[in-house]
Every structure is written in structure tokens, then in C-alpha cells.
Amino acid sequence: MTKALFIIDVQNDFTEGGALGVDGGAAVAEHVTGYLRDNPGVYDVVIASRDWHDGENDNGGHFASGEPDYVDTWPRHCVAGTSGAEYHPALDTSLIDVHIKKGQGRPAYSIFEGTTDEGATLPRVLDDLSVTHVDVVGIATDYCVRASALDALGADRTVRVLTDLVAGVAPESSERALDEVGAAGGELASSADVARKAADR
């Protein structure tokens, strides 16, 4: 049994003060770092995603040409090479083993839609590492965390969302997203419970 942690889009543009800043985003960055430092043996691999959008086009309609609807079209965010696309400084990137970039000219929400800098897809990475269990943390609960968790379930992995290490755009849609993950067969857990179970083994 190989366990992975997915850290979804803990980037400057998705935290407070960013182009699409989410309340609690900076705290997620800080607490994910603390969780990994305090529990170094829980995961065999840590995989982090980032939106990494083109700056010279609308990324397949993902960037709004006028007023964004905040469902399918959005303000410009996480443009490749800008500070907004970088990981939040409170996230210790030395703890990350695999970096996935998604977007790159088209809409992308799930970590499964991205690749490594070498061009490897996430399913290939997971298969190469024999990953069977995935925990998911990050931003935003109601969009990219939701999509990533559901895709992991669809890829026949055991999935948990760590509910104290996510931040969403809105409470109602975040709750619906977590309910959807649960209904699809995912588990909802706290990081403290996960760490405690790991310590008991």
C-alpha cells in the first residue's frame, strides 16, 4: 500500500490578496506545512499541483473576455512565470516530491489534467509509484479539490479529503462538494485523525 498526499493549488493567486483569493488559503499553506513536518512518515510521496495558465491567450475561454461568471470564466490568474502562480510562501516546497502543472492553454481543475515538467501524466506517476491511497488537501474545496478527489476515485484509488486542510470559495458550495466526494465513496477526515491512526500502526 503506497500513500500519496495531493496538495491542490496552494498558490498566491488563490490565497488572500490574490486574483482569486480564498479566505483561509494562507492558513491552509501554513497548516499543510506543519502537518507534513510533524508527521514525516505518513506519506510515501507528496504531489502538488499548480494552475499554470498562458498569459497571451484566454486559455480556451477560461479567462473571461468581459465580466467573468465565476463558474466557467474567471479573471486572469496563475499566469505562468508570475508571482501569482507561485506556491504560497508558507508552503514548504522542500516537502514536495512531484510538481504538476495544469491549464497551460486550456481550462483545468483536476490535478489529473496536468503533467510534470518532463511531460509525465499524473496517472503514469501514480502507476509508476504504485499509489493506492490518496489524501487531498488544498484550494479550493468547491472547485479543484473536488475535481481532483473525484478523479482520484474514478482512477480506483482510495481517497480521503482532510477537511481541516482545505479552503473553499463559499461555505454552501464547499459543503456540497464534500458531500459529493463522500457519496462517490471518498472519506472525510481531519488531519489529526489521520496522523493518530498512522502513529497507532
Looking up residue 18, the CATH number of its domain turns out to be 3.40.50.850
pTM score, two decimals?
0.96
Rounded Cα distance between 8 and 47, Å, is 9
pLDDT, position 189:
97
Give me the residues of the chain with pLDDT under 70, please: none
pLDDT, position 201:
72
Its domain, for residue 25, covers 2-200
Q: Determine which helix (DSSP H) or strand (DSSP E) holds 95, and give its type and residue range.
A: none
pLDDT, position 197:
86
Kindly name the residue from 102, 135, 142, 151 that is annotated as catalytic: 102
Q: 88: which DSSP letter?
A: P
Please state the domain count of the chain: 1
pLDDT, position 200:
77
Kindly name the residue from 9, 51, 135, 151 that is annotated as catalytic: 9
Kindly name the residue from 13, 142, 144, 151 that is annotated as catalytic: 144
Identify the three-state secondary structure at position 157. Answer: coil
* 144 is known as an active-site residue: yes
* 101 is known as an active-site residue: no
In 54-167, which ranges are E strands?
Answer: 98-103, 131-139, 158-167
* 102 is known as an active-site residue: yes
